[in-house]
Structure 1
Amino acid sequence: MKPLLKALALVAVLAVSACGSGGEEAAAPGTPAKLRIGYQLIPNGDLIVKDQRWLEQALPGTEIVWSKFDSGGDVNTAMISGAIDIGLAGSSPVTRGLSAPLNIPYQIPWIFDVIGDNEALVVRKEITEAKALAGKTIATPFSSTSHYSLLAVLAEAGLAESDVKIVDLEPPDIQAAWQRGDIDGAYVWTPILAELEKDGAVLVTSRELAGRGKLTADLAVVRTEFARQYPEALKVWLRQQDRAVKLARTDNAAAAAAIGRQLNLSPAEAGRQLGQLVLLDAAEQRGPDYLGTPEAPGKFAENLHSAAEFLKSQQKVDAVPELSVFQKGLATRELADAFAGS
């Protein structure tokens, strides 16, 4: 668990930023005076939307407030406090958010990306197999998709969680600990992953784990109350995300340049990291393998249910919710309405 003071301080800062008046223009019907977004430094379409200021242009009467988070666990904390309206969190923290004891009243309207080679377990070069992790110190942000994947790697290798010293560090702290020699490895995502790879070795990637049934993804979560109160704003938000995916497919150079500006990376490196993710447009997200439709929720709900079973086996959630809980957690109606007729 992260220190309570850190979580309280984060919520306090966000609560202050949430106060004040909206933009100079009046918000349109169905849109709020302020839209508070929690983002992470992950090279996907969300950073393109932020960099290009598409939301600011599409919602001129709404003040768009972007707040950076280091992990999905912190996004969950902000959601519980009501400090943000839309946020990015990995499938593992979202699974926990929809499960007891959290039971966060939010839904999933969009899949930012299916995690691939951009998230991996990097270790010192003398470690050549997962079984050799016994007795080693491995860092990962707790409650993240990386944490979930690390536990899956240990289970595959026949290691108990207690066989390895797992430390809870945020990505920037992981890089510092690696440089000091305090840890033997870390399961983490880009851009910190790329720094560790310079003198470490990748033992397993999330793309490889997905092929073995442990798929992870970066998800959007929206407060259920916000979605009901401001449906037009959510429609606009969804259309900008779809626009970003299409830009990445049709003009990779422009997409990489936008992401590079947000991550302070060269366009070439940003493009490399972008290519490690699987991006889905709106039509694909409405398909049976992902979010699906109001009439037929997609198989992604089954993935979340499976993740909950795994987390329960690791004593990370109190109980495994029914599959229907995760099906209701997919904002399929909102997604369908945003792209009706397209």
Structure 2
Amino acid sequence: MARGFWNSAAAAFAMIATLLLASLGGRPALAAEEVLRIGYQKSSSLLILLKGQGALEKALAPLGVKVAWHEFSSGLPLLEGVNVGSIDLSADVAEPVPLFAQAANAKLTYLAQEKPSPTGQAIVVRKDSPIKTLADLKGKKIGFAKAAGVHYLTLQALEKAGVKLKETEIVYLQPADGRVAFERGAIDAWAIWDPFLAALQKSVEVRVLADGGAADVSYRRFYLTSTKYALNRPDVLNIVVDELRKAGEWVKARPKEAAERLAPLVGLDAATLELANSRRSYAVALVDEDALAEQQKISDAFTEAQLLPRRLDVRGNDVWKGAR
């Protein structure tokens, strides 16, 4: 199963690269010094806020830089977009995603992190499920997205309960498909992150078997860019990180207003988003040694579980230190 997982993940990464390159149609990419191309996903709350407000466009206007926004379904396609040059900056992705990208030889630079939000992801079962503990998941079907933060959460939570991941039946599902499978009873448990977790809890009676706090999983989210862009436009990235930091502080200071403003932008109600936001730190900072050490720990755990093909040195990717 492990080798099959890695082969399918690597093949998916390569296919994404081919599709993204084909989408350029043989035309030269927009000049990085003129247009900052940003990729984001539904859980990229801070960038979605900045997009809705036009804040980055205003902040970058004095540099003569415009912004183009591109929505992606999940983290791996985002990072492959950076790798092949179809976008310059990836919105926040959970810890394992850069590791699987690095294992597929992507050359990336860690730009910034959102500091730990351990309760922002969880393993849940239906309220009437006979499954009462993590140990009861042995032999059961667990759904989650490949290489997502919840992949590591599930691995660690089960290990603490004395269950190997390979002793369960894993079903790889993107959030929308996972929700359908969970509600239909096609999977016994679902590992999912906010805001999808909050949306589920607001509409379905569920029990949390473990979140990141219980499993000693920090759940950081990382913003990444191409190393070329980091070298060429540190002035632009300095503004981006500053705007992200200010947006994170604003969300935490005004949770109700932030939820109301985000609601129409992501298609969820304000109450759901307020719950989700209460579990996210939104504390944007540069990537420090603690974050890198934890990335190495996660990488080693995936390697030991034979989910990565070789041991990685996470410091093989560049780390942005701010404009000089």
Give the TM-score normalised by structure 1: 0.81
CA distance in 2, matches of 1:274, 1:158: 32
The match for 2:34 is: 33
Code of the residue aligned with 2:320 in structure 1: it is A
Change (3 A) 1:134 1:64: same
In the TM superposition, residue 84 of structure 1 has moved relative to its aligned partner by 1.5
Question: Contact between 1:40 and 1:68, CA under 8 Å: does it hold in 2?
Answer: yes
Q: Secondary structure of 2:119's match?
A: coil
The match for 2:142 is: 138
CA distance in 2, matches of 1:93, 1:111: 13
Aligned residue runs from structure 1 range 205-244, under 5 A = 205-209=211-215, 212=216, 214-244=217-247
Q: Secondary structure of 2:240's match?
A: helix
The match for 1:340 is: none
The one-character-per-residue Cα deviations of 1:165-221 (angstroms, maximum 9, x if unpaired) are 101111111112223321111111123223433232111112332xx3x32211100
- 1:57 matches 2:61: no
Where structure 1 has 5 or more consecutive residues not aligned to the other structure, the ranges are: 23-30, 293-297, 338-342
CA distance in 1, matches of 2:76, 2:170: 17
- 1:331 matches 2:314: no
CA distance in 2, matches of 1:226, 1:133: 44
Change (3 A) 1:124 1:135: farther
In the TM superposition, residue 10 of structure 1 has moved relative to its aligned partner by 5.3
Residues 305-314 or 78-87, more deviating: 78-87
Where structure 2 has 5 or more consecutive residues not aligned to the other structure, the ranges are: 1-7
The match for 2:100 is: 96
Question: Contact between 1:116 and 1:278, CA under 8 Å: does it hold in 2?
Answer: no
CA distance in 1, matches of 2:124, 2:214: 14
Change (3 A) 1:19 1:266: farther
The match for 1:309 is: 300
The match for 2:5 is: none
Aligned residue runs from structure 1 range 93-242, under 5 A = 93-98=97-102, 101-125=103-127, 126=129, 127-197=131-201, 198-209=204-215, 212=216, 214-242=217-245
Residues 127-136 or 267-276, more deviating: 267-276
Give the TM-score normalised by structure 2: 0.85
Q: Secondary structure of 2:67's match?
A: strand
Q: How many residues align?
A: 308
Question: Contact between 2:115 and 2:283, CA under 8 Å: does it hold in 1?
Answer: yes
In the TM superposition, residue 161 of structure 1 has moved relative to its aligned partner by 2.2
Q: Which has the higher helix share?
A: 2
Q: CA RMSD in A?
A: 2.6
Q: Secondary structure of 2:179's match?
A: helix
Code of the residue aligned with 2:205 in structure 1: it is D
Question: Contact between 1:113 and 1:218, CA under 8 Å: does it hold in 2?
Answer: yes
Code of the residue aligned with 1:41 in structure 2: it is K
The one-character-per-residue Cα deviations of 1:106-129 (angstroms, maximum 9, x if unpaired) are 111211352332211111332110
Q: Percent identity?
A: 21
Q: Secondary structure of 1:117's match?
A: helix
Question: Contact between 1:136 and 1:184, CA under 8 Å: does it hold in 2?
Answer: yes
In the TM superposition, residue 136 of structure 1 has moved relative to its aligned partner by 1.3
CA distance in 2, matches of 1:93, 1:264: 25
Q: Secondary structure of 1:269's match?
A: helix
In the TM superposition, residue 274 of structure 1 has moved relative to its aligned partner by 0.6
Question: Contact between 1:18 and 1:36, CA under 8 Å: does it hold in 2?
Answer: no
